[in-house]
Structure 1
Amino acid sequence: MKKNFKRVLGLGFLGAAFLGLAACSSGGETTESSEEATVETTTLTVGASSTPHAEILEQIKDDLAEEGYALDIKVFDDYVLPNTALSDGDLDANFFQHAPYLENFNEEHGTELVSAGGIHFEPLGIYPGQSTSLDEIPDGGKVSIPNDATNGARALLLLEAAGVIGLNDGADITTTPSDIAANPKNLEIVELDASQIARAVQDVDVAVINANYALEAGFDVEEDSLETEDKDSEAAQTYANIVAVRAGEEDSEATKALIAALQSNKVRDYINDTYNGAVIPVF
């Protein structure tokens, strides 16, 4: 009787031991599985104009997901709100502007935003409105240009290069309509918000339009423009579109991941295959 009792007791201890081991093994697997299941992604919120910036960002969503970032794209239709939203902390970065515009914005609004890297160049172009060529512009005709300081100056420089007007010596990215020295056709320079120019092209003889807004309006940059900035010009580097972030965050891991994804062969090929010269990679 005692032998049997000891045997049963022994088996009980062995059973308990096996159960304990099984419980430990099961717990380890659950912990490992749980750790894999609870790996969290970080949301990266980036403001952009719809074309081409948001379209380009869409191409890198999967690439950023592999790096642990969920890309949230916020589309804006003007050139002010993306910077104020970034400065206020509502965005982690934005992608719509060139460095001269950003520098001017910082000066005017007291913001501290910086470039994290250049992505592409969008040639500014002169597009037909009521006149189908530069020669057809009548005396007293109207020409619309962007009303922001840097793109406005850029437009005037392009009009001078096209022989439409002449500017004072030393004209640069600070040039304004008051610097027009020669205006043989007595043209009226109409300054409009950059986002509105393509929509109002029928109200002027010709319009100087940013490439992104020209694309949105259905213009073919290569076929429809009367004159454009040269892709190999100094403007291509000066006015390269950048990713902007708050000062001090240009070297963060999230920013580095975003720039690496945008400056990839995949994005270069997408830009070249999609925009037919309206958007030109600079990396």
Structure 2
Amino acid sequence: MKKWLLASVLVLVIGVLAACGGKEKSGDAGEGLLSDGKLVVGVTAGPHEEILGKVKELAAEEGLEIEVRPFTDYVMPNVALAEKEIDINSFQTEPFFEAMKEDRNLDLLKVADTVTFPMGIYSSKVTDLADLEEGAKIGLPGDPTNSARALMLFEAAGLLKLEEGMGMNGTIHDIVENPKNYDFIELDSAQIARQLDELDAAAINTNFAIEYGLSPSEDSIFSETSDSPYVNLIAVRAESKDDEVVQQFIDIYRSEEVKKFIEENFDGSIIPSW
């Protein structure tokens, strides 16, 4: 009996020491999101990934290790964040973010604005929208948020008229005037640039345009203005919003060094929005 009691006490003591040791180890690497010693940030491939490369470089100077994890679509970075496969993401506009949160019941929060990627209209067949022929095929993103954004852009360009008041909720079914009977075709956002030669014109998100080798400032024939409401953001899980490393990441991203990097490398195609 005494031997059993002594063994139990020893197991308890070892367990307590192990728990204390584990907690101390986590503290050494940082609390919360840094429990594994690094911050995993999800982005879409292309400009967001390039910007995060600069953020990673600056973070390393502060002793913060960042792993940049690129995705090829707009859905998975939020799913991965909600499922704790990544710690932060930086790739999306607020309207898209809010719509996806509601649609998938994701407990995610915006913590800061980042950059604006003005959506543009591109064509390999015309250099002026007035030259588009009757019934021209015009591509636009298929997801609800970017589809509405493209339709607003088309309306601003004079290609169509939407039902009054639809704005960010507009769909192709809300087109009330289409004088030249354009055929508006919804496609996967990431694929539109690759299909541009098969279309007469298309609205393309700036990150995908750049990834395909298009220059928004030189190749677009119509573009959103600088007052676009579609500013990109940094998102985290709600439980992580007060984590110190989140604020550290925000401060590094919104630094003068990153702003200068964006201005020098993207020639006005991407606008720092802080």
Same fold (TM over 0.5): yes
Residue of structure 2 aligned with 1:178, choices 173, 181, 184? 173
SS in 1 for 2:167: coil
Range moving further from structure 2, 125-134 or 238-247? 125-134
CA contact (8 A) 1:49 1:76 kept: yes
Q: Which segments of 5 or more consecutive residues in structure 1 lack a partner in the other structure?
A: 1-38
- Aligned pairs (5 A) from 1:1-283: 40=29, 42-231=37-226, 233=227, 235=228, 238-283=229-274
CA contact (8 A) 1:40 1:68 kept: no
Question: Cα offset for 1:40?
Answer: 4.4
- Cα deviations by residue, 1:192-232 (Å, 9 ceiling, x for unpaired): 1110111101111101000000101111111111110001x
TM-score by length of 1: 0.82
SS in 1 for 2:40: strand
Question: Cα offset for 1:76?
Answer: 0.6
Mapped to 1, the partners of 2:273 and 2:87 lie a distance apart of 23
- Cα deviations by residue, 1:178-199 (Å, 9 ceiling, x for unpaired): 1111101101110011101111
Q: Identity of counterpart residues, as a percentage?
A: 39
Moved over 4 A (4+): none
Mapped to 2, the partners of 1:222 and 1:64 lie a distance apart of 30
TM-score by length of 2: 0.85
- Cα deviations by residue, 1:103-156 (Å, 9 ceiling, x for unpaired): 110111111111110110000000013333211211111110111111111100
SS in 1 for 2:81: helix
Q: Aligned-pair RMSD on alpha carbons? A: 1.5
CA contact (8 A) 1:123 1:279 kept: yes
Mapped to 2, the partners of 1:172 and 1:221 lie a distance apart of 23
Question: Cα offset for 1:250?
Answer: 2.0
The number of equivalent residue pairs is 242
